[in-house]
Chains A and B, each alone.
Chain A
Amino acid sequence: MSLTTTSLAHNVKQLYRYKLHAYFTVFGSLIAVQLLGLLLSLNGVGQFATYFDHIYIHVNHFSANFIIIFSLMWVFIIAVTVTTQPYRDADFVFVANRMSSHLSNILFLLTASVIGGVTAMLCGFVLKLVAGYILYQDLVFQQTLSLPELLLGLAAASLYMILLSSAGFLAGMLSQLHKAVKFVLPALVLAMLIMETGSPRLPIMIMLAQFFTNEDSFVIFVIKVAASSSLLFGTALLISNRLEVRQ
């Protein structure tokens, strides 16, 4: 038993190292996605203007939200991608063990999530400098970010990335079950974005998102994300057992 565990841990470690090297291109795509988010944020995410007595005041709102949302979309796509056939086949060059393959994938996704979350938050500072210094504004106003707030933001962004990566991993794994799932899943997501429920009436997807975004206690947020991600990754692993070896 002990020997098997060591062997699995060793295999996972070996595969994880291989993936960090072989999948390095995903970080190139992360840069592209974050730069796209940065570019779209440069015009401001919201605007407000008022005019009185020959005075025109224009306020441009900037935030790193677009960059973070784009990074979340990126990690979701990456999580789906690593579950696809070509990526799974590549693992078997090293070891024909499904569990080690999936565990290394999860470890890789956790790493990518932390990198994605941290860089997305840091990219917000580039936005501030470019929008505040290079693009002309008369005044820049903001609540200066304290170090604990910055660390909190980095951790929360990484946790959101982990959550989305686990959702992507499960979606990818479900897609491997049957070809029809590839069409059913997007339709289901779209339906959840449209169909409203509860009071006040909100789309199901928004209500689901609010379960995390409305949480103002960081500790409870960590618990919620950890539990949900574990559930999603766990379900994905269970589903993978239904797949044939090297399917």
Chain B
Amino acid sequence: MGVVVVWSLLLLIVILVLMIILIQRLLKRGNRFWTLNRLKWLSGAYLLILLLALALYYVLPIKETSELRTISYEEAEQRRLDFYRAVEQGKLAELEQDDFREQWRFETYVERLYIKLNKTVYPEEMGSELIVEQTDDTEGAIEVRYIMTPTVIERLDVTDQLDTPRVDLQGEHLFIHFPDHQELRLAHFSKAFTIKQFSAPEYIEGVSSPGASALYIRLPQHIELEASDNLPIRWVGQ
């Protein structure tokens, strides 16, 4: 028998003993605090709170994620694989439009471009790919697109809740600000076991799939790109 089971058993016994003591004390006759009148008021108030909570649950617009779509873990994984294949083959344009989260367009006449990351993010820790394509399709402008495949937490697509990088062009410098740190706290209300046992299975708890991401930079052919050596840049078509 595992240690966890033994501890759970002990905890259960302790709770049961404490509960017996609590109930016996409350049931003790001649308890001055628990007079019948007070108990009736207390029970009435408690029932009122319970019914109010029930009504509020159905009436209040819960800041819930019902508007967010659910997506299967398999679909998210497939989109991730498609992304890596597209990166390898340099065919990012063929990705699903939903994966293009942000885009920036800078009209510029610069001949040289320096890519700068915000100082708090080290290039080797950067979670996103930096993909550069030199093309004449942008009509002389620099285009940057942020691509991210779905991030799934227990079948819920939370990608839209995640901060995206900021991109800014100042002269010859293209500044990329990746979010330093983001914390997302979710409350998941599971159905009680008294309902769960008669209904279809809910989400599988504890399953997550982080999305793959990339900054896809498209430059006119004449612009010369300067980036530090440790910046992992992938070139399309090379």
Contact = CB atoms under 8 A, between A and B. Distances in A.
B53 interface: yes
B174 interface: no
A57 B186 contact: yes
Contact of B39 (A28, A58, A196, A218): A28
A140 B189 contact: yes
B187 A132 contact: yes
B189 A141 contact: yes
A233 interface: no
B43 A27 contact: yes
Contact of B121 (A28, A54, A58, A128): A54
A230 to B, nearest CB: 21
Nearest to B127: A53
Q: Pick from A53, A56, A196 the residue with the most CB of B within 10 Å.
A: A53
B232 interface: no
A64 interface: yes
A46 interface: yes
Contacts of B193: 63, 65, 68, 213
A137 to B, nearest CB: 4
Interface string B1-38: 10000000100000110011011101100010010100
A32 interface: yes
A53 B192 contact: no
Contact of B178 (A21, A54, A139): A54
Nearest to A149: B195
A21 B36 CA distance: 9
Contacts of B158: 57, 139
B113 interface: no
B206 to A, nearest CB: 5
B197 A156 contact: yes
B27 A140 contact: no
Contact of A33 (B23, B65, B205): B23
Given A24-B36, A145-B195, A152-B198, A62 B189 contact: yes
B93 interface: no
A126 B9 CA distance: 28
Contact of B128 (A53, A57, A74): A53
Interface residues of A, number: 77
Contacts of B206: 48
B198 A216 contact: yes
B79 to A, nearest CB: 16
Interface string A204-245: 000000000111111001000000000000000000000000
Contacts of A81: 23-24, 27
Interface stretch (B44-52, B81-89, B131-139, B216-224): B44-52
A55 interface: yes
A25 B159 CA distance: 51
B184 A25 contact: no
A63 B187 contact: no
B39 A27 contact: yes
A56 B182 contact: yes
Contacts of A177: none
A73 interface: yes
A210 to B, nearest CB: 10
A194 B188 CA distance: 32
Interface string B172-200: 00000011111111111111111101110
Q: Pick from B154, B182, B189 the residue with the most CB of A within 10 Å.
A: B189
Interface string A130-165: 011100111111111100011011001100100000
A94 interface: no
A29 B194 contact: no
A5 B198 CA distance: 40
Nearest to A87: B27
B62 A140 contact: yes
B53 A73 contact: no
B170 interface: no
B66 A144 contact: yes
17 contacts: A25-B27, A29-B23, A31-B43, A46-B205, A48-B208, A54-B178, A55-B182, A60-B187, A62-B190, A63-B191, A81-B23, A123-B50, A141-B156, A149-B195, A150-B195, A153-B195, A221-B197
Given A46-B205, A126-B50, A137-B185, 17 more contacts: A32-B22, A48-B205, A54-B121, A54-B125, A57-B153, A57-B183, A59-B153, A59-B188, A60-B185, A60-B186, A63-B190, A139-B184, A140-B186, A141-B64, A143-B191, A145-B195, A217-B198
